[in-house]
Each structure stands twice: as structure tokens, then as C-alpha cells.
Amino acid sequence: MIELEQMTGHEHGSGRRFGPAFATLAGATVALALMGAASQVARAQAPLAHLGTNAIAVVEDVAAPASGLQFMDFVFAGQSIDLGADGRLTVSYLSGCRSETITGGTVQFSPNGARAVGGTVSATEAPNCETTMARIDADATEAGAVAVRGTGSPFGGEAEEDRVIRSPAPAFRWLAGGAAEVRIYNIGRVPAQLVWSGQGAAGHVEYPADAPPLDANVPYRVEVRSGGAVIGLARFSVDPTLAVPDTLANRLVPIAKP
């Protein structure tokens, strides 16, 4: 199987960044995928490895107030959750391959799936999907399982990973949490062009349906601002040819502190 970062990355030293050849390589990426991996689901790479090791899933839907979980919260390996008799929880795994709807019971999570004592687990597994363990700290409030195109930060500090998602409707989650302004820039333009800005709450926001459409294979930068300061930065692009399930985990762009 041909890995996406090998096919589409633009190397700079030890990392890979978006470069002038990014759009040009998109056609070659599709051709290579058709030749070598037409029947396979694109491999989900481990996101933000420097944050830790044990986050495994993101909450897509929850109807169990006593569990303490909310939309876009993260679930960790070894975590136990009591859904009660009738609570329901839907999660998508950061590996990018598995989703589960859990009804009732006491749920124990592991990277290979949940077990519900006194409840039921209904799982959906993407066919021919190669999993890679996501690496997110239990203290983190950001994560995502999307294809990763290398590393290398244009912002200085720790290297940041470029997220490549299939969906043109990304969701954003920032480590700092709380309400904030979110700005998205097209950094394929010089100077960078502001595409959209909006307000997010509780540490996350979804790209609205009435916002300007995001172009395929174009590098974007997302900035999260609060009190006049930048509290989060990330880069991402949209590749509609990716063969990954349309789950929240696979369209999530995690935003690290700068």
C-alpha cells in the first residue's frame, strides 16, 4: 500500500510541507492510489504524536447526561463510562476505521473497541482499513484521525502536522478550550487570504454550510484567537479523493497551542 505522506508530501529537511508542487502532485496521487490501492481505505496516521499516547475516540453523539460526556469530547484507552440503563453514545475512533454506537451499561474502552457490561455495542468497521494508534494525552482536549502529510511548522516552536481531510466541512477543536474567534486563511495565496471567520464555543466549532466553499488541494491555516491573542494554530487541506469514512474523527482538525 502506498502511504499518502509518501505520495503527496513536499520534503524540506526532516519534515514535509506544502509547497509549489502541492497542486501538481494531486493528480499523480490519485493515479498512484488507483493503481496500487484502489480497493483500500487510506491509512489514518497518528495525529500530534508529541501530546501523549492514549486517546482513542471522539464523541459524535451522546444521550447520557450522567456520563459527563459532551459532543467532541475525547475517550481514552482504559476509560470506564456508566451509561445507565438507557444512555446511548456514538464514538468514532481516531484510527479512522471504526465507529461504535453503545447503548446502556458500563462501558470499558480499548483501542480495539468498547465492551459494555449490561449494554450493547454496535460497531461499523471500514473494510481494508489499516489502523495506526493515535497518540493523544489524557489531559489533551484536541485530537483527530485524518491523513497526515508530514510535519514542519511555519509558525516556529514545535513542529505541527498538516491535516489532510476528505470532507469540505471540517470541524475544529482547540486545546485551550473556551469561546474563541476562528479564522481560516488560504496560505496558497501571497499574501494569505482570509476565507472565513466565526465564533466557536466550548473549545470547538464546525465549518458552517453557508461559509465559502473550501477548495481541494489548497493549503489552509486556521487560527484561534481570544482576548486579542492567538491561542491555537493548525494547517490543513481538503482532498476529496481520500477513501476514508465520513466520521467526525476523520474531518476533525486539532488545533494545538502556538
pLDDT tens-digit map of 89-112: 999 987 788 899 999 999 999 988
Q: How many whole angstroms separate alpha carbon 61 and alpha carbon 67?
A: 12
Question: Which residues are within 8 A (CB) of 151 and not within 5 positions of it... i.e. 6 or more apart?
Answer: 15, 16, 159, 160, 161, 162
pLDDT beyond 50 at 235: yes
pLDDT beyond 70 at 152: no
pTM of the predicted structure, to 2 decimals? 0.66
Lowest mean pLDDT, pick from 19-23, 222-226, 231-235? 19-23
In contact, 104 and 118? CB cutoff 8 Å: yes
Q: Please give the pLDDT value at position 101.
A: 97
Q: How many whole angstroms separate alpha carbon 187 and alpha carbon 223?
A: 12
> Which percentage of the chain shows pLDDT scores above 70?
66
Looking at per-residue pLDDT, the higher value among 51 and 212 belongs to 212
Q: Is 33 left (phi over 0), alpha (psi -120 to 50) or beta?
A: alpha
pLDDT beyond 90 at 174: no
In contact, 59 and 43? CB cutoff 8 Å: no
pLDDT beyond 50 at 200: yes
pLDDT beyond 50 at 118: yes
Tell me the three cell numbers of residue 202. Answer: 466550548
Q: Please give the pLDDT value at position 129.
A: 65
The mean pLDDT value for 3-25 works out to: 35
With bands split at pLDDT 50, 70 and 90, how would you rate the model's confidence at 84?
Answer: very high
Looking at per-residue pLDDT, the higher value among 40 and 60 belongs to 60
Angle at Cα 142 formed by Cα 14 and Cα 136, nearest 5°? 60
Q: How many whole angstroms separate alpha carbon 116 and alpha carbon 91?
A: 14
